[in-house]
Amino acid sequence: MAQYPSSGLEGTLQKNQTDGLLRVVYQTVVAELEPASHFLAGTPDEAATLTFYAAERAKQPAQVTAAVDMTNVVDLPGLGSVSFTPAMWNLVKGCRQGAHFAKLDLIANYYASTWGNRRDGSFSIDAVLNEQGR
């Protein structure tokens, strides 16, 4: 089987590992962003948006990445059983953390475009929450 450079992922990855890693990263990012998508689809009011954002912002990195299941072998449709190394899982965890920050940006941008007023600086959801002591 062909070997592919791992970019520091403990040696080399086989093609099915590379394909599996990409699929798991995609699924992980989607899983992290879905709650915000569903939340925003309901056209929330300002108070609900502030509450949702504050709850998401309060999550610690370990809390976000704890949702990553680090089993040694992952069964993926079309690929079968794919062996995952700890370094591969660390990459998945980093992608989940990045998606979490993207979710915060998505909510912050929604807030700014809906209730923001650049003249008085209230366009920043963080500034509003800080004023409220949250």
pLDDT at 1: 45
Tokens read off for 7: 């970019």
pLDDT digits 0-9 by tens, 69-109 = 898 999 999 999 999 988 899 999 999 999 999 999 999 99
* Phi (first) and psi of residue 117, to 5 degrees: -135, 100
pLDDT at 4: 46
Fill in the DSSP letter of residue 12. E
Tokens read off for 71: 């089993």
Q: Calculate the CA 24 to chain-centre distance.
A: 12
pLDDT digits 0-9 by tens, 10-44 = 567 888 999 999 999 999 999 999 999 999 999 99
Tokens read off for 8: 């520091």
pLDDT at 127: 85
Alpha carbons 127 and 118: distance in angstroms, whole number: 12
Spell out the domain ranges in the chain. 23-131
Q: Identify which of 98, 10, 19, 16 has the alpha carbon closest to the alpha carbon of residue 61.
A: 98
Fill in the DSSP letter of residue 133. T
pTM of the model: 0.84
